């Protein structure tokens, strides 16, 4: 399956998790594609059959600046992705309370608007609890890869 991996990162951790996810999904037999700061045209040219978004959270629960242009383009153009499978990995810090993984929640809302169906619940990686988010994401990614096989 052709999986577009989109990432938004403030300090680079979410991009590292996205690169690791790309490697693991390819090893599981999927055609995974990750291009940091991709445009909507880049994503459309890849013609994805599934989505994985890995994003950190900034400010008061917002998306990082490097994912915002793509997010806004998707909301403005509303591509025909209804029914496609997807998943979200949200990175945040639980000490921020209600805004913990707020960027991931925004992506989940966009998925719902577009009709992208989450094949499993969002993985929340807590910066105050993990030093190896790539490794902590592996069990979730293994289940995600299997769920895409159906």
* Mean pLDDT of the region 107-122: 97
Looking at residue 130, its pLDDT comes to: 85
- Whether the pLDDT of residue 150 is over 80: the answer is no
DSSP-assigned states of every residue in 107-146: HHHHHHHHTPEESSPPEEEETTT-S-HHHHHHHHHHHHHH
Looking at residue 131, its pLDDT comes to: 87
pLDDT digits (tens, 9 = 90+) for 23-73: 999 999 999 999 988 999 999 999 999 999 999 999 889 999 999 999 999
Whole-model pTM: value is: 0.96
Looking at residue 101, its pLDDT comes to: 95
pLDDT digits (tens, 9 = 90+) for 12-25: 999 999 999 999 99
pLDDT digits (tens, 9 = 90+) for 78-89: 999 999 999 999
Give the 3-state secondary structure percentages of the chain, helix then strand then coil, rounded to 5.
45, 20, 35
CA dist 32 and 26 (Å) reads: 6
User: What percent of the chain has pLDDT above 70?
Assistant: 100
* Mean pLDDT of the region 117-122: 96
Distances (CA, A) of 131 to 7, 12, 76, 127: 19, 14, 36, 7
In this predicted model, which residue has the larger pLDDT, 123 or 59? 123
Burial group, residue 116, by CB count within 10 angstroms (0-12, 13-18, 19+)? buried
Domains of the chain are: 2-149 (3.40.50.360)
Side-chain half-sphere CA neighbours of 148 within 13 A: 26
Q: State the chain's mean pLDDT as an integer.
A: 95
Confidence bin at 132 (pLDDT 50/70/90): very high
């Amino acid at each position: 399956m052709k999986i577009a991996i989109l990432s938004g990162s403030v300090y680079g951790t979410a991009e590292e998790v996205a690169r690791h996810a790309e490697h693991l999904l390819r090893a599981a037999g999927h055609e995974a594609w990750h291009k940091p700061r991709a445009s909507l045209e880049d994503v459309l040219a890849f013609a994805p059959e599934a989505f994985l978004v890995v994003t950190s959270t900034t400010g008061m629960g917002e998306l990082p600046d490097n994912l915002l242009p793509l997010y806004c383009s998707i909301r403005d153009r509303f591509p025909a992705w209804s029914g496609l499978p997807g998943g979200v990995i949200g990175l945040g810090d639980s000490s921020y309370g209600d805004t913990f993984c707020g960027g991931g929640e925004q992506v989940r809302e966009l998925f719902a608007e577009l009709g992208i169906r989450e094949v499993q619940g969002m993985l929340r990686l807590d910066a105050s609890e993990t030093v190896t988010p790539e490794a902590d994401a592996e069990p979730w990614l293994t289940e995600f890869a299997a769920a895409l096989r159906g």
